[in-house]
Amino acid sequence: MGEHSGGSGSGAGDDGRSPRIGRRLLVERLSSYWLRGAGYFAVGLFAAIVVALLYQSLPLLAEYPLSEVLLSSNWDPAQNQFGFFPAIVGTVYVTILSMAMGAPIAVLAAVYIAEYAEGRTRTLVSSFIDVLAAIPSVIFGLVALVVVVPFVGNYLAPAVGADATGLGILTVSLVMAIVVTPFMISLSVESLEALPDELRESSLGVGATEWETIRSVLLRAAGPGIFSAVLLGFGRVFGATIVPAMLIGGQTQLPDSVFSTGQTLPTLIVNDFGELMSLPLTQSALIFVGLLLVVVVWLFNFAAMLVRRRLQRRWQYQ
Amino acid sequence: MNRYTRERVAGVAVRAATVLVLAVMAIVIGVTLARGGRVLLANPAIVVTPPGSRYMLEANGGFLHAVLGSLFIVGPATVVSMVLAVSTAAYLQSDYSSERFSDVTNMFLNVLWGTPPIVYGVFVLTVVIALGARTSMFYGIVAIAIFQYPIMTRYTDEALRSAPDTVREATYGLGATRFESAVMTARAALPGIVAGVIMGFARGVGDAATVLFTAGRSTRMPGGLFEPATTLPVLVFDQATSFNAEVRSHAYAASFVLIVVVLGLILASKLLAGRYARFAPGGRNS
């Protein structure tokens, strides 16, 4: 290639072809720089996020040991008390509750779409799921304010003898289960569809019913894929911001029941944002929350990726 | 329970789960359209009226500032993000990069794709603090562009991957450079790329957490690139918990606009993908 560009440099103008190939090679060279830059952009962005968040949360970590910050339940930025424990407990509560509600439904619906539905029904249902996945989360929050909040406050909480306004951990979990389900469905459908048809054929061929095929062959074969979908769902709920901020009630306390109000890590950032600009230590504390979120969500993602890799390796022969 | 009963129960269970999910979707869209529609029918002018001086308290005026803010923030962000995403995907798919580098980068892209939007918001905010700047429309654009980048790259990458190998082989056979070959491949994958860009726009226009801290949450008309602005989701978020019922009703009207835009974009992406599919030999139209 160097030979070509050298030749075009000396022979420019001599005949009609050389300047053209020179220009083409110039475009090729310039575009390859640009594309290389774009290729490194993802890694660069990743690194920049880690460095920026880490650097800005250093003031907090210099002042307090990590264990104290994570395990103290005293959150009062005005008094320089930064205990993330209530928010961590709230986040874990919400994540586990919504996954407990969302994951089984997501897997069942994915089985329906991948194995039961056919033809037009299948296209229709899966495009509706796509639509559901694309609805902005702020709309889920808004609708939940008029549907789920009164339902929890007026019916569900009195039915179990709890006193609640309707805002709280259970409400957030319910809505987050709805938000994250379509996402898990489409990922699970993908991994079910990727299975070779011979699996279905041979299982049905030896006399298994459809459900037996699904349960003991397909779900087991696609297990890593579905598991990784659920892990990604975990990550989604863990980092969800808008829905919890609208529905959780925003009180930094250790939740004593599923109906009590609380705080999750992202809502901590949203609710205390007003104070952020003025106090450097609060600013650092809230950026540390961001760092914490990133680390946990990335752990979920990496775990999901490793699991998926295993699935891909297992079905490589197809 | 014998195996045939179990078979029937399972059939009912998977159908019930699907119906439940679809019913929830119908409720969410229905409530938004009904409530927002009622407000908009009574007073359609609020979409194109600038906000009054005490808009968030008394709901005087309309939310034109958020509509324009959304357009001015998400539009440029989508363009920036599209250029970056297509370039990244082209780099990863074509003969520029080694397979190993593609693998590693794809891993990072996947992780970025799963990163919560609020993290991007906080990240851009740390940049704003470090620069000693003020939150403004510009940083909103940056935050949204970063948020859209992994989403669009994923779609574009998938589209390029599904473009037939014969296109690349034929262009190389005719003596094309790598860049010319990449352009031809992109053309073959156009439906997927267009669908991806539209989906990226839809996701960007619906996201509140990234712009919450970066665009300035202003309640006035956007004044310029370095002036505070707001977007529709942020407006809905701020108005939803207001004590004034009229302010809350504006939140429904705004969410009506938002959901119509998002649904329209998804529909457009599906239609366009189907329309362009005939230009793409062997390309998947999803």
User: Does A43 share its domain with A165?
Assistant: no
* Minimal Cβ distance to B212: which of A128, A270, A294: A270
User: Does A23 share its domain with A117?
Assistant: no
* Minimal Cβ distance to B87: which of A34, A55, A115: A34
Computed over every residue of chain B, the mean pLDDT equals: 83
Q: Could you give the CA distance from residue A162 to residue B97 in angstroms, rounded to a whole number?
A: 60
Question: Which of B174, B192, B177 lies closest to B280 in space, CA to CA?
Answer: B192
Query: What average pLDDT does the segment B41-57 reach?
Result: 77
* Minimal Cβ distance to B112: which of A46, A236, A270: A46
pLDDT bracket for residue B61 (50, 70, 90): confident
Contact flag A142-B153 (C-beta cutoff 8 Å): no
Structural domains in chain B, CATH included, are 44-279 (1.10.3720.10)
User: Does A148 share its domain with A233?
Assistant: yes
Q: Could you give the CA distance from residue A136 to residue A289 in angstroms, rounded to a whole number?
A: 24
Q: Could you give the CA distance from residue A148 to residue A243 in angstroms, rounded to a whole number?
A: 12
The predicted structure's pLDDT at residue B78 = 93
* Minimal Cβ distance to B11: which of A105, A116, A147: A116
In a structure prediction context, what are the per-residue pLDDT tens digits for chain A, which is 318 residues long?
A: 334 444 344 444 445 555 678 888 888 888 888 888 888 888 899 899 989 888 888 888 887 777 777 777 777 776 777 778 888 888 888 899 899 999 999 999 998 988 888 888 888 888 888 888 888 889 998 888 888 888 887 777 777 766 677 788 888 888 999 889 988 998 888 888 888 888 888 888 888 888 888 888 888 888 888 888 888 888 888 888 888 888 887 777 777 777 777 788 888 888 877 665 667 777 888 888 888 888 888 888 888 888 877 766 665 544
Maximum alpha-carbon separation in chain A: 93
The predicted structure's pLDDT at residue B144 = 92
User: Does A149 share its domain with A277?
Assistant: yes
Q: Could you give the CA distance from residue B194 to residue B274 in angstroms, rounded to a whole number?
A: 11
Total number of domains in chain A: 2
Q: What is the pTM of this model?
A: 0.86
Whether residue B240 contacts residue A142, with contact meaning beta carbons closer than 8 Å, is answered with yes
Backbone angles phi, psi at A81, to 5 degrees: -105, 115
Q: For residue A18, what are the domain limits?
A: 2-63
Q: Give the chain A residue nearest B90 (alpha carbons).
A: A35
Interface test with chain B among A28, A46, A108, A138, by most B beta carbons within 10 Å? A138
The predicted structure's pLDDT at residue A267 = 84
User: Does A55 share its domain with A106?
Assistant: no
Contact flag B179-A38 (C-beta cutoff 8 Å): no
User: Does A164 share its domain with A288?
Assistant: yes
* Minimal Cβ distance to B114: which of A232, A241, A246: A232
Contact flag A135-B206 (C-beta cutoff 8 Å): yes
Interface test with chain B among A189, A232, A241, by most B beta carbons within 10 Å? A241
Give the pair of three-digit tokens for residue B172: 């190389």
Q: Where are the alpha helices (DSSP H) in chain B?
A: 3-42, 55-58, 64-93, 99-114, 117-131, 137-162, 165-173, 178-188, 190-206, 209-212, 232-240, 245-276
**Which residues of A are less than 8 Å from B228 in CB distance?**
none
**Which residues of B are less than 8 Å from A287 in CB distance?**
122, 125-126
**Which residues of A are less than 8 Å from B27 in CB distance?**
143, 147
User: Does A288 share its domain with A266?
Assistant: yes
User: Does A247 share its domain with A268?
Assistant: yes
User: Does A15 share its domain with A161?
Assistant: no
User: Does A29 share its domain with A111?
Assistant: no
**Which residues of A are less than 8 Å from B6 in CB distance?**
209, 211
Interface test with chain A among B8, B20, B28, by most A beta carbons within 10 Å? B28
Q: Could you give the CA distance from residue A50 to residue B129 in angstroms, rounded to a whole number?
A: 16
User: Does A59 share its domain with A78?
Assistant: no
Q: Please say which residue of A41, A63, A85 terminates a domain.
A: A63
User: Does A174 share its domain with A249?
Assistant: yes
Cα distances (Å, whole numbers) of residue A183 to A57, A105, B273: 32, 12, 21
* Minimal Cβ distance to A246: which of B21, B120, B237: B237
Q: Please say which residue of A47, A63, A79 terminates a domain.
A: A63
Interface test with chain B among A54, A55, A142, A309, by most B beta carbons within 10 Å? A142
Query: What average pLDDT does the segment B175-190 reach?
Result: 84
Contact flag A112-B15 (C-beta cutoff 8 Å): yes
Contact flag B150-A109 (C-beta cutoff 8 Å): no
What are the pLDDT digits (tens) for B146-180?
999 998 998 888 888 877 888 888 888 888 888 88
Q: Please say which residue of A29, A63, A97 terminates a domain.
A: A63
Assign residue A218 the CATH number of its domain: 1.10.3720.10
- What is the value of ipTM here, to two decimals? 0.87
For residue B136, the distance in angstroms to the closest alpha carbon of chain A comes to: 15
pLDDT of B233 strictly over 70: yes
